[in-house]
């Protein structure tokens, strides 16, 4: 299996604070890898480094390219869902799509509109009036509209109430199943990780403390179910904290 993301010896500091302390990570092509860790462990920082928007020490390759030196070439190959919608407040989804269409040569407007309908994104509501769940589904639609090879998701379920979270999660699973692609998702939500991941990478104390196929966390004689995997992940996070 080919490697979609390769990170070697990644160090990142903010002033005197050393956030990432030599992260090594390989994300295989075509798999959904969940970057699991508590709040403040540096998950968002790692994703921003992958996007090439932060300075770092070490090496990052996405689809064989350096995000700092080949940002333009990578733009069309990556879809990104931020933890908070990054559209202007006044924009409606159509305004946001027109803005993005100018920046993505591969933009597929028919695909974008189909995703809006599938995800039930309101078309007449500005972002400032959308619920958090509606905003995250709008971001997912815009991230997938240009058919990226690689999708990065940063805590897409944070702050959602249980019913909305379940709706967004169901839509994410459906959308990700439409076409094969590589996914790296950062979250601290153990239930989401257990239900969506092919692989888990646990980030603790600035390093990857454990990285395995998700089913490896359910080893030990128990049947692998989302509940048993979630409990095993909880034990693992406690052990490495």
What is the pLDDT, as a whole number, of residue 63? 94
125 and 135 Cβ atoms separated by less than 8 Å: no
pTM of the model: 0.91
Q: Which two tokens stand for residue 25?
A: 């990570």
Q: Which two tokens stand for residue 193?
A: 């990780």
33 and 198 Cβ atoms separated by less than 8 Å: yes
| Domain extent at residue 39 | 3-240
CATH code (residue 49): 3.40.50.300
The structural domain count of the chain equals 1
pLDDT digits (tens, 9 = 90+) for 104-136: 988 999 999 999 998 889 999 999 999 988 998
Torsion sign across C-alpha atoms 131, 132, 135, 141: negative
pLDDT digits (tens, 9 = 90+) for 140-195: 999 999 999 999 999 888 777 888 888 878 877 777 776 778 999 999 888 888 88
The whole-angstrom separation of Cα 18 and Cα 68 is 21
DSSP label at residue 47: H
What stretch of H or E contains 230?
A: helix 226-240
* CA 124 to the chain's CA centroid: 27
Q: Which two tokens stand for residue 79?
A: 């879809």
217 and 233 Cβ atoms separated by less than 8 Å: yes
């Amino acid at each position: 299996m080919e490697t979609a993301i390769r990170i070697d010896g990644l160090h990142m500091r903010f002033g005197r604070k050393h956030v990432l302390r030599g992260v090594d990570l390989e994300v295989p092509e075509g798999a959904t890898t969940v970057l699991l860790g508590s709040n403040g462990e540096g998950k968002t920082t790692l994703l921003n480094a992958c996007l090439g928007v932060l300075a770092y020490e070490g090496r990052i390759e996405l689809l064989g390219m350096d995000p700092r030196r080949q940002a333009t070439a990578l733009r069309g190959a990556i879809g990104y869902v931020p933890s908070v919608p990054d559209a202007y407040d006044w924009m409606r989804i159509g305004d946001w799509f027109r803005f993005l269409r100018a920046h993505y040569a591969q933009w597929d407007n028919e695909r974008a509109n189909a995703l809006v309908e599938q995800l039930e994104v309101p078309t007449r509501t500005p972002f400032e009036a959308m619920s958090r769940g509606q905003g995250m589904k709008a971001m997912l639609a815009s991230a997938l509209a240009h058919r990226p090879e690689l999708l990065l998701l940063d805590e897409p379920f944070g702050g959602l109430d249980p019913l909305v979270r379940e709706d967004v999660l169901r839509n994410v699973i459906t959308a990700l199943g439409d076409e094969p692609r590589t996914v790296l998702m950062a979250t601290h939500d153990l239930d989401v990780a257990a239900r969506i991941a092919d692989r888990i990478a646990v980030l603790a104390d600035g390093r990857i403390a454990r990285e395995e196929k998700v089913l490896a966390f359910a080893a030990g004689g128990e049947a692998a179910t989302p509940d048993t995997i979630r409990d095993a992940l909880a034990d693992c996070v406690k052990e490495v904290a």
